[in-house]
Structure formats: structure tokens, C-alpha cells
Chain A
Amino acid sequence: MGSVSLILSPQQAVSVGGELVNNMIANKDKKELLYYTIGFNSMLKGAASKLGQSVKKVLPFILEDTPKRVENAADDFDFNTELLDYYLLILDNIIKNCPQEAGSYLRNIIDRLEELLSFDPNGTLAEDDFGAPDGSQGKFYFQ
């Protein structure tokens, strides 16, 4: 998808990007969400400047879905953490490459970032200094 995005015209990129985002939203409760998310991230890496409208649409979706994934990470740990990984990559690419579209969302992104920095999906924070993790996955250990 990343390679293809390089040769797409701006109109085609907007169309494909929009389709991917629509599918992300339509499949938000299904496993397919991950595939569309990976696809959109690949497109962003190759053609971020052509995806303005899709970026504006995907940002609120990701910002709303992220806390839910964190909250329910343990329900389907591998799926949710992998999805969160891609959400972060998308946000990272948007901040780097789409400053105009990201502008009004920066504070919301920092809010999510703050939450995610307290998230310890692997339960690997040292026990000595920050309280003993209970060994379960997807918990906040310091708030």
C-alpha cells in the first residue's frame, strides 16, 4: 500500500485514503479494523500530503477509540496492543507530515499520549520503585 500510494494522483490518494478510513470506522468492532489501520498507516508514510481530508476524518476516530482500547486491552490483549501501536504510528506520521490537519487536535493528542505513557501493556515496569504490578495485562500502574 505504501508503494502504491507513491504513484497515486492526489484525487486517487484521497479516494483510497477515504475508503480506508470509512472501513476503519465501519469495522470498529471487528478484527478487520487492524488491516485497514495498517493500510492507512502505510499510505500515510508514502503520501501524507495527499491525504488531507482522510486525516481530518481519521484523527477524531483514533482519539476516541484509543482510550477504549486501553481500558479494554485485556479483553483481547494482542489485538488491542497491536492496534494501539498502529494508532500511535498514524498519529506520529500525522504530526510529522500533516501539521495543518493536526493543528486543532494537538492538545487531544497530548491527552492520549499522557494516558498511554501510564499504560504498561507488558506488565514489565520494575516492581521495586513503582509499586508491585499485579501481573495482569493492560493496567495502569501509576497515575
Chain B
Amino acid sequence: MTDTFILTHPELLKELTQRLFDKLLKRFSEQEQNVKLAAFSTFSNFLRVIVQRASNEEAFEDLAEKPMLIKIKPEFVEFQGKVVTMIAELIKVFNDKKASSAVKVASSELLLLTTINIPDAVIQHLDAVIKLIDVNYSQTSNTIELRTNMLKILGAILKVQVVENKPQIERHYPVINKLILSSLEDKSFKLVSEGFKALTVFYRALRPTLSSTTEKFQTYVKPVIGTVNKTLKSTDIDEEVIMRDGL
């Protein structure tokens, strides 16, 4: 019902957040799966409502800059701290060994939405988030959906880097590079496709200081060339992957 309130009475959102946010957040540790999923859904709607898109969005052709056009509405800026707390709780959900696949996928969707809508909140937990992406992507027993979402979150973090060039993100380049390279060699075309998307943004983030003589080129670009060629030559590769040839 909190969902309904959020969507039908935006004028009450501030009061609802003040009164219900913490109580709802505690439901992240709920062991009843349906309740936990309902709590995730409510937070997703909350995250959609508290942000606004810039009106001149169409003017930006560079897709990588688009996420930065989503801003938290001024009246809700004070709730950014609560979103940071939410991410901490969300990370606990991923670390819960008893969490089902459905719960992990739903958590990853919420984390992705948060990364797109309020990236600054995610950056505050960046070390834990990158570790979480590494663990959940690398675990091949996880569902393709969950692993794909991990790459999407990685891509969203890199989009922040394209615009803001944060040293705390750059610190994780080796892990990011490893994950992307691994995805390009995966058997699943979904992961390969998402890997290419992430790689495109990764190169956009590297580009300002990138030339064929720099260390970054040697470390992050050169090793990828062989893998990309091999993947693109693969006969059974999905058309969507081939379309991402324009690196």
C-alpha cells in the first residue's frame, strides 16, 4: 500500500519517507520472500519518484552523459543519506547465503536503478559494490539474469566515470577490466552483449588520456583486441553483439 501512496500522492512523499522509510528498510532482512520483494518494489518506486530528468535531455547525443541528467529533486536531497543506508542494507541481502535467486535478481535490479538515479549514493559504497559485482558475476552458477544485471550496474558506474572522472572508480579499473574481458568470452550472448556495452563505456571513461603509448592502452585496450576479434568472428554469435562492433 505504501507503493500506492507513493504513486498516487506525491505530495505526501516527504511525510511518507520521514515516517515509513526506516521501517520499510528493516523489511530487507525479512525472511518471507514475498514481503522482501514487495519492499524492494516500494523502494524502486520511491527512487523513480524522487528524481527528475533534465528537460533538455534530447540535446545530448552522447548516451554516456544521459544518466547524469537525472537529478534528485531539490525537495528530496535530504533523503540521499537514507538511500545510502538503503544500499548498505541491500549489500547485506547479497551477502545473505540464504537469499534465493529471485531475491538476488530483484536486489540487483534495485541496485541498478539506484546507480542510474542516485549514483552518488552508490559511489559511497563503491568498494563493497564492486566486490559484490565481482563475486556475483564470476559465480557461474548464478542465473544469466543476475550476471547480466551485474554488468549493467558496472556499466552504470562507468557512465558516472565518463562525466565525473572519480579517482575512487579508477582505483577499480583492474577488476572492471577483468570482468568485462571475462564477459566477452562468455558462452551466453546476453553476457557478451552486455559486456560490449560496458566495454564501450569503459573506453569512453579512459578516452581523455588514452593514446597507443600510454600505460592504460597497454593494460586495458591491447589485451581486449584479440578477444574482440575472436568473439566477432564466432559464427554463432548473436546479431546484437555484431552490432556493437563500433568500438
Chain B positions within 8 Å of A114 at CB level: 19-20, 23
Show 8 A/B contacts (Cβ-Cβ < 8 Å), sorted by A.
Answer: A95-B1, A110-B16, A113-B20, A114-B23, A118-B23, A120-B30, A125-B27, A129-B26
Chain A positions within 8 Å of B76 at CB level: none
B contacts, CB < 8 Å to A: 1-2, 4-5, 8-9, 12, 15-16, 19-20, 23-24, 26-27, 29-32, 35, 92
Chain A positions within 8 Å of B29 at CB level: 125-126, 128-130
Chain B positions within 8 Å of A88 at CB level: 1
Chain B positions within 8 Å of A110 at CB level: 5, 12, 15-16, 19-20
Mark out the residues of chain A between 101 and 143 whose CB falls within 8 Å of any chain B CB in the assembled complex.
106, 109-110, 113-114, 117-118, 120, 122, 124-126, 128-130, 142
Residue among A88, A96, A117, A128 with the most chain B CB within 10 A? A117
A130's partner among B8, B9, B16, B26 (CB-CB below 8 A) is B26
B32 touches A96 (CB 8 A): no
User: A65 interface residue, CB < 8 Å from B?
Assistant: no
Chain A positions within 8 Å of B30 at CB level: 120, 124-126
By beta carbon, the residue of chain A nearest B89 is A129
B27 touches A117 (CB 8 A): yes
B12 touches A106 (CB 8 A): yes
